[in-house]
């Protein structure tokens, strides 16, 4: 594993700010010359990870190696990395030349060489003849170019980029993406790029690291990540997708939306509940025909430039998103076909809520930081630790947090075609997963209630 091929080796990095764990056992190995993107929603810990790599923050646990040397305790100015910041962070009191020459002057490089290298760096970022300009008079895009030149002139082993294009407008962002990719190819430096923009990640990277809630969800090439997401979070975050509940009937046969369908996945076992992912562009839509796999009625149709985006409602109540070059009118009946190879099956991370609880007495159990009423448990003693199971659809969420037995906030919403699958984080930091038909918003504060008969209690030792 710890081959000398790796230029960056991050092993088991953990970090907390107060009570909040931002990085939880993150490991990442980067090959020399690779373009790696750390992708995730805001607050997933990606910037913290980059700062630890640059040396602006320290990890509570774990080890960092660059080029084989342990740099866990090395201060930022002695690390062989350079950073491009989101808000450029140019020195406002220096002109373009002095900004770019800053690193070389500190290293006491000879003046003639500095001149040559500054000019070369400026040419690289397409800013020739800007040497004597005041940095405050430059546009956002120009400032970021200077910031990139200022970093690459030092010939670092690794270039760290912290959402460098986030502050630029769309057109400029697209242009700069291409330039960055060219620059990466020419320089041969390893790039570690942080972004929350999945399209940017797919465009630029050799390898994408998807992060959520301080953990690495998946590491892979853009194609892998897009075509073979490992879980519903990745599938939902990267591109558009239909994620549906299904059952793997046997190898190469999966049942979803009320039909058994051929697929190419195997090895899940028989009658296993699974998540089925179908990309909207992989659904073939056509006027009603006998050879269709699914039938439905078009609910909406929006022109998106290259294609039309349609939602189709099946008789069983599933909503499917479809992208196609042809438009179908709202209200029209249609047939749909999905190729076996376009049906992606993922193992479910969980099939029901499972908590550790403590019996208070025979009709009360303590879990999720609150006391829940449960049905009479004749064989269990007060004070005993038990295993508690609750089905996803048996958890009730209420608008008024006072109405619930405990309180939580909605962290992640997944649309499953006919219902929403929510992740709710309770006050004591545990997650409870809920299936509901009601619409909730991200970060909604909700009351959580479970009926006594829906709380299934198992003794841990038989």
What is the Cα 7 distance to its own chain's centre?
Answer: 24
Phi, psi of 193 (to 5 degrees): -120, 130
Subset of residues 128 to 187 that bind another protein, contact rule: CB under 8 A: 136, 150-151, 154
Find the shortest distance in angstroms from Cβ 74 to another protein.
Answer: 12
CB of 406 to another protein, least distance (A): 29
For residues 96 to 135, the per-residue mask of contacts with another protein, x marking binding by CB under 8 A and - elsewhere, is ------xx--xx----------------------------
Q: What is the dihedral of CA 233, 237, 242, 246, to 10 degrees?
A: -10
Residue 146 CB, nearest approach to another protein (Å): 12
Q: How many residues bind another protein (CB under 8 A)?
A: 27
Distance CA(411)–CA(455), nearest Å, equals 23
239 makes contact with another protein (CB under 8 A): no
Nearest approach in angstroms of CB 390 to another protein is: 39
- Name, in order, each residue with C-beta under 8 angstroms of 31's C-beta and a sequence gap of 6 or more: 5, 6, 7, 190
- Other residues' Cβ atoms within 10 Å of the Cβ of residue 270: 10
Whichever of 48 and 82 has its CB closer to another protein, that residue is 82
Q: Nearest-CA neighbor of 239 among 226, 222, 223, 224?
A: 226
Task: Give me the least distance between CB of 136 and another protein, in Å please.
Answer: 7
**Shortest Cβ distance from residue 56 to another protein (Å)?**
5
Give the range of 36-44, 69-77, 119-127, 326-334 binding another protein by CB under 8 A: 69-77
The residue within the footprint of another protein, chosen from 11, 82, 142, 245 (CB under 8 A), is 82
Among 26, 90, 343, 422, binds another protein (CB under 8 A): 90
Minimum CB separation from another protein for residue 82, in Å?
6
- Name the phi and psi angles at 363, rounded to 5: -120, 5
Asked if 441 and 341 touch (Cβ cutoff 8 Å), the reply is no
Distances (CA, A) of 81 to 36, 87, 98, 106, 261: 14, 18, 20, 15, 51
Site membership for another protein, residue 47 (CB under 8 A): no
Q: Which of 6, 30, 34, 55 contacts another protein by CB under 8 A? A: 55
Give residues with Cβ within 8 angstroms of 103, minimum separation 6: 82, 150, 153, 154
Binding another protein by CB under 8 A: which of 27, 85, 227, 327?
85
Do 344 and 366 touch, CB atoms closer than 8 A? Answer: no
Does position 69 interact with another protein (CB under 8 A)? The reply is no
Contact in structure between 138 and 146 (CB atoms under 8 Å): yes
Q: Which stretch binds another protein (CB under 8 A): 84-92, 228-236, 306-314, 415-423?
A: 84-92
- Residue 176 DSSP symbol: H
Q: How far is the CB of 121 from another protein (least distance, A)?
A: 13
CA 217-221-226 angle, to 5 degrees, is 70
In whole angstroms, the minimum distance from the beta carbon of 147 to another protein comes to: 8
Pick 154 or 353: Cβ nearer another protein? 154
Cβ closest to another protein, residue 89 vs residue 413: 89
Q: Which of 343, 326, 334 is nearest to 253 (CA)?
A: 343
CB of 281: closest distance to another protein in angstroms? 40
Chain centroid offset of residue 263 CA: 26
Strand 242-250's sheet: what is its strand order?
Answer: 259-262, 253-256, 242-250, 272-278, 344-347
22: contact with another protein by CB under 8 A? no
- Which CB, 104 or 219, lies closer to another protein? 104
The conformation of residue 226, written as its DSSP 8-state character, comes to H
Task: Rule CB under 8 A: choose which of 73, 92, 304, 331 binds another protein.
Answer: 92
378 belongs to the binding site for another protein (CB under 8 A): no
Closer to another protein by CB, 87 or 119: give it: 87
**What is the binding site for another protein (CB under 8 A)?**
54-56, 75-78, 81-83, 85-93, 102-103, 106-107, 136, 150-151, 154
């Amino acid at each position: 594993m710890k081959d000398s091929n790796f230029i960056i080796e991050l092993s088991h990095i953990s970090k907390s700010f107060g009570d909040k764990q931002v990085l939880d056992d993150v490991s990442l190995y980067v090959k020399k010359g690779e373009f790696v993107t750390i992708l995730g929603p805001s607050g997933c810990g990606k910037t913290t990870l980059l700062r630890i790599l640059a040396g602006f923050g320290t990890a509570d646990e774990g080890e960092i190696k660059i080029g084989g040397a342990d740099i866990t305790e090395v201060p930022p100015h002695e690390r062989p990395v350079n950073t491009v910041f989101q808000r450029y962070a140019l020195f406002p009191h220096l002109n373009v030349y002095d900004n770019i020459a800053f690193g070389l002057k500190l290293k006491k490089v000879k003046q003639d060489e500095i001149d040559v290298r500054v000019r070369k760096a400026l040419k690289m970022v397409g800013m020739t003849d800007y040497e004597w300009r005041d940095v405050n008079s430059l546009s956002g895009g120009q400032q970021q170019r200077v910031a990139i030149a200022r970093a690459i002139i030092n010939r670092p082993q690794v270039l760290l980029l912290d959402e460098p294009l986030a502050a630029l407008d769309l057109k400029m962002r697209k242009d700069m993406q291409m330039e960055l990719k060219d620059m990466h190819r020419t320089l041969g430096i390893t790039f570690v790029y942080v972004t929350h923009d999945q399209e940017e990640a797919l465009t630029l990277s050799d390898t994408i690291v998807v992060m959520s809630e301080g953990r690495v969800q998946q590491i892979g090439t853009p194609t892998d990540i897009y075509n073979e997401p490992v879980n519903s979070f990745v599938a939902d975050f990267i591109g558009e997708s239909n994620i549906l509940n299904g059952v793997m009937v046997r190898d190469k046969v999966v049942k979803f939306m009320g039909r058994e369908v051929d697929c190419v996945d195997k090895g899940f076992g028989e009658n296993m509940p699974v998540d089925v992912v179908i990309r909207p562009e992989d659904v073939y839509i056509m006027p009603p025909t006998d050879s269709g796999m699914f039938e439905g009625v078009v609910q909406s149709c929006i022109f998106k430039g290259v294609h039309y985006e349609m939602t189709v409602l099946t008789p069983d109540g599933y909503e499917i998103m479809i992208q196609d070059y042809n438009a179908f009118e709202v209200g029209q009946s249609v047939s749909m076909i999905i190729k076996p190879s376009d049906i992606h099956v993922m193992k479910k991370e969980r099939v029901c809520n499972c908590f550790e609880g403590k019996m208070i007495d025979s009709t009360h159990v303590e879990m999720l930081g609150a006391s829940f009423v449960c049905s009479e448990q004749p064989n269990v003693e007060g004070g005993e630790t038990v295993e508690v199971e609750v089905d996803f659809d048996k958890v009730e969420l209420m608008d008024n947090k006072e109405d619930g037995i405990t309180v939580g906030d909605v962290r992640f919403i997944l649309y499953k075609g006919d219902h929403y699958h929510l992740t709710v984080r309770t006050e004591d930091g545990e997650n409870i997963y809920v299936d509901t038909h009601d619409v909730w918003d991200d970060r909604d504060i909700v009351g959580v209630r479970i009926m006594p008969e829906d709380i299934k209690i198992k003794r841990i030792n038989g």
